Amino acid sequence: MSSTEKSPDFVREIIAAEIASGQWDGRVVTRFPPEPNGYLHIGHAKAICLDFGVAAEFGGRCHLRFDDTNPTKEQVEYVESIKEDIRWLGFDWGEHLYYASDYFEQLYQWAVELIQKGLAYVDDLSADEIREYRGTLTEPGRESPYRNRSVEENLDLFARMRAGEFPDGSRVLRAKIDMASPNLNLRDPVMYRIRHATHHRTGDAWCIYPMYDWAHGQSDSIEGITHSLCTMEYEDHRPLYDWFLDALGIHHPRQIEFARLNLSHTVMSKRKLLQLVNEGIVTGWDDPRMPTLSGLRRRGYTPASIREFCDRIGVGKTQNLIAVELLEHCVREDLNKRAPRVMAVLHPLHVIIENYPEDQVEELDAVNNPEDASMGTRKVPFTRELWIEQDDWREHPPTKYFRLSPGAEVRLRYGYIIKCVGVVKNERGEIVQVRCTYDPATRGGATDRKVKGTIHWVSARYALPAEVRLYDHLFLTPKPDEDENWQAQVNPNSLERLTNCYVEPALANAAPLAHFQFERTGYFNVDPDSAAGRLVFNRTVSLRDTWSKIEKKEARSGG
RNA sequence: UGGGAGAUGGUGCAAUGGUAGCACGACUGACUCUGGAUCAGUUAAUCGUGGUUCGAAUCCACGUCUCCCAGCCA
């Protein structure tokens, strides 16, 4: 094994061993089974990369199957977004798009079969009574008084449940397993409940709907799935998964559980994400601060960076909390290679170059991406009046500050070396203008003069106004979930809108979602809110900032 | 006080009875027309106690701690 090669995770090890021993006829079929009750998030990306990745590596296939067994929570809007997000992430289910609802009739027939075998019964207990009869974690449950109805009566009642003769909640179909099992999932689990609700695909054809446990394994079986990969909380369900398949004597996939992804400074449960949306804490499922795939996409994350992230976090069984910094690292790494560089001033400060001719304009050559010469160069207009970053000028520079200050010199990126010769302040004593002179012999950096700092700039005459949205972690603490009052952890400053920014003219026609590096600042993309004449950018992630660390350290040591 | 699953640097993942390694982070330094990138280096870990063994992160025993399960959700 070469040192760069990653060792396979335990899931791939298991599958490889089975295939090597001749199981499954060498076929590997997996599935990604989302419920269309919300948008996909980065945690789903881990599962998608595993499900589709494993299938591809073993020459098999991966199905996309919507687990749509609960009409009251599901919507077509969600199925469309899920399909879009999976495609965007870079995976393809080909012909293999399925819905659990396609199997409702087969599931019904199999339920009838279990009734006939004496393995299922109709229960008239109410939901509350069923809970009461179920017992507790430490005490066994009790058998329902309806548990020993005749096969005929069960068949009749079940048929009438389907026919709509009974109101919601009046009866359920249960598997007859073991009310004393230490595994609660085996205490006669509910298979069907009555719900007179319109389903987004089957309409009003059904008023009884299968529960997850009853639908999932059998759907896997119908599709010939070999490996049903799911998260750890389903481990306790595996005995039930196996029980149904064995009772029916049908194709029996292997369920393997892995640990779900937890990411720092965010929440991942669909319930909580929905709450953030509904309560207006974010602007929608695709708010750039959300850990949803649509949010990450709008934020400027690339599919490759998310796939790389999923690859790096690995697949195991231990509960984890991945630092969001790793995700940020992955997107920087990817964007460093592909994002064109451009200059943009976020907090503008006016600079006048006193000895530069008023009417002169020079077109300076700028490199589009130093990491990739094939991306070429562009022209950037240089004029007497410029905008520079407020932070690139200090009246009283701290030590190790390499930028502009009274009497100091800096290089303007791709331009000239300038020297600060004065400032203009307003009545309140605020600096409104920095006066400089330039050295005409240093155009394009053509000099061996040593200047420590290089700063970015835009021409005041040619720059385009823009809005820039800066984002920070949605939550203040790494693990907001662990607090009952998780919403109190929301970061009130997770969004900062800068409406007075200037970008270089090359950005005039930037396409929505296009990625850029604003030199020395960070990676940004064009927000869909952007329009001609009203450019809007999102900061995907800042550049690594060594200076801010130095500054903090100096401040700490009293320097 | 039921059942299930886990525990390796700050974080995540390896090592499958034989030198505890990789990545992120943090910290040094080199280089640089981005205080970016790149390069070199440093830091830092086997939950505890016993046992088996020439040798234990790995096997055994007993503890400890964490997570999941009492939906007619998935």
**Which residue in the block uniquely carries the two structure tokens 């009555």?**
A194
Whether A1 has a pLDDT exceeding 50, the answer reads no
pLDDT of residue A102: 98
Q: Which nucleotide is nearest to A73 (CA to C1')?
A: B73
The answer to whether A2 CB is within 7 Å of strand B is: no
pLDDT of residue A6: 79
Of A residues 61-100, those with CB within 7 angstroms of nucleic strand B are 67, 69-70, 73
Amino acid whose CA is nearest the C1' of B13: A314
pLDDT of residue A403: 96
Q: Which of A70-79, A377-386, A479-488 has the lowest mean pLDDT?
A: A479-488
The answer to whether A449 CB is within 7 Å of strand B is: no
How many Cα neighbours within 13 Å face the side chain of A244?
A: 29
Distance from residue A399's CA to nucleotide B10's C1', rounded to whole Å: 30
CA distance linking residue A162 with residue A202, whole number of Å:
14
pLDDT of residue A277: 96
Among the listed residues A73, A195, A260, A338, the single catalytic one is: A260
Mean pLDDT of A263-277: 96
pLDDT of residue A2: 36
Whether A60 has a pLDDT exceeding 80, the answer reads yes
Distance from residue A481's CA to nucleotide B72's C1', rounded to whole Å: 28
Structure tokens of A134?
């179920």
Distance from residue A302's CA to nucleotide B31's C1', rounded to whole Å: 30
The SS3 call for residue A341 is strand
The SS3 call for residue A253 is coil
Mean pLDDT of A518-544: 96
Asked if A158 contacts A113 with a C-beta cutoff of 8 angstroms, the reply is no
Distance from residue A12's CA to nucleotide B21's C1', rounded to whole Å: 21
Asked if A140 contacts A86 with a C-beta cutoff of 8 angstroms, the reply is no
The answer to whether A147 CB is within 7 Å of strand B is: no
Among the listed residues A171, A176, A270, A413, the single catalytic one is: A270
Tell me, what amino acid is at A27? Answer: R
Please state the separation of Cα A230 from the chain's center in Å: 18
Q: Which nucleotide is nearest to A136 (CA to C1')?
A: B70
Of A residues 222-251, those with CB within 7 angstroms of nucleic strand B are 232-237
- Give the contacts of A539 (CB within 8 A, at least 6 positions apart): A300, A468, A469, A470, A471, A521, A522, A523, A524
Question: Chain-wide mean pLDDT for chain A?
Answer: 96
Residue A34 CB coordination number (10 Å): 23
Nucleotides of strand B under 7 angstroms from a protein beta carbon? 1-8, 10-16, 22-28, 33-38, 66-74
The pTM for the full model equals 0.96
How sure is the predictor about A156, in pLDDT bands with cuts at 50, 70 and 90? very high
Asked if A395 contacts A358 with a C-beta cutoff of 8 angstroms, the reply is no
Active site residue A260: yes
Rg (CA), chain A: 31
Query: A218: buried, middle or exposed (CB in 10 Å: 19+, 13-18, 0-12)?
Result: buried
The answer to whether A385 CB is within 7 Å of strand B is: no
Secondary structure percentages of chain A, helix, strand, coil, to 5? 35, 25, 40
Q: Dmax over Cα atoms in chain A, in whole Å?
A: 102
Q: What is the pLDDT of residues A432-449, one digit of tens each?
A: 999 999 999 999 877 778
Percentage of chain A modeled with pLDDT above 90: 94
Query: A345: buried, middle or exposed (CB in 10 Å: 19+, 13-18, 0-12)?
Result: buried
Kindly list the domain boundaries of chain A, sorted by start residue: 10-260, 270-340+466-554, 344-456
Whether A4 has a pLDDT exceeding 70, the answer reads no
A387: β partners: A350, A458
Active site residue A270: yes
CA distance linking residue A336 with residue A369, whole number of Å:
8
Distance from residue A259's CA to nucleotide B17's C1', rounded to whole Å: 28
pLDDT of residue A3: 40
- Give the contacts of A487 (CB within 8 A, at least 6 positions apart): A275, A279, A281
Distance from residue A316's CA to nucleotide B42's C1', rounded to whole Å: 30
Please state the separation of Cα A486 from the chain's center in Å: 19
pLDDT of residue A32: 98
Residue A205 CB coordination number (10 Å): 11
Distance from residue A223's CA to nucleotide B16's C1', rounded to whole Å: 34
Q: Which nucleotide is nearest to A337 (CA to C1')?
A: B37
Strands (DSSP E) along A147-298, which ranges? 172-175, 190-194, 208-210, 227-231, 254-258
The answer to whether A146 CB is within 7 Å of strand B is: no
Q: What is the pLDDT of residues A307-338, one digit of tens each?
A: 999 999 999 999 999 999 999 999 999 999 99
CA angle A245-A251-A257, nearest 5°?
65
Of A residues 475-494, those with CB within 7 angstroms of nucleic strand B are none
A251: β partners: none
Please state the separation of Cα A186 from the chain's center in Å: 35
User: Domain A344-456 carries which CATH code?
Assistant: 2.40.240.10
Return the CATH fold of A10-260. Answer: Rossmann fold (3.40.50)
Structure tokens of A251?
């194709």
- Give the contacts of A350 (CB within 8 A, at least 6 positions apart): A385, A386, A387, A432, A433, A434, A460
Q: At A420, which helix (H) or strand (E)?
A: strand A417-425
CA distance linking residue A286 with residue A325, whole number of Å:
21
Q: Which of A525, A15, A537, A77 is nearest to A305 (CA)?
A: A525
Structure tokens of A197?
């609700």
Q: What is the pLDDT of residues A464-517, one digit of tens each?
A: 999 999 999 999 999 998 888 999 999 999 999 999 999 999 999 999 999 999
CA distance linking residue A285 with residue A276, whole number of Å:
9
* Pairwise pLDDT comparison (A553 vs A26), residue with the higher score: A26
Same topology, domains A10-260 and A344-456? Answer is no
A414 phi-psi bin (left φ>0, alpha ψ -120 to 50, beta other): left
pLDDT of residue A558: 62
Structure tokens of A112?
């009838």
Among the listed residues A31, A35, A61, A328, the single catalytic one is: A35
Structure tokens of A179?
């009310």
Structure tokens of A182?
């230490």
User: Domain A270-340+466-554 carries which CATH code?
Assistant: 2.40.240.10
Structure tokens of A17?
């061993």
Whether A98 has a pLDDT exceeding 80, the answer reads yes
DSSP string, A170-195: S-EEEE---TT-SSGGGSS-EEEEE-
Percentage of chain A modeled with pLDDT above 70: 99
Give the ipTM of the model, two decimals please. 0.97
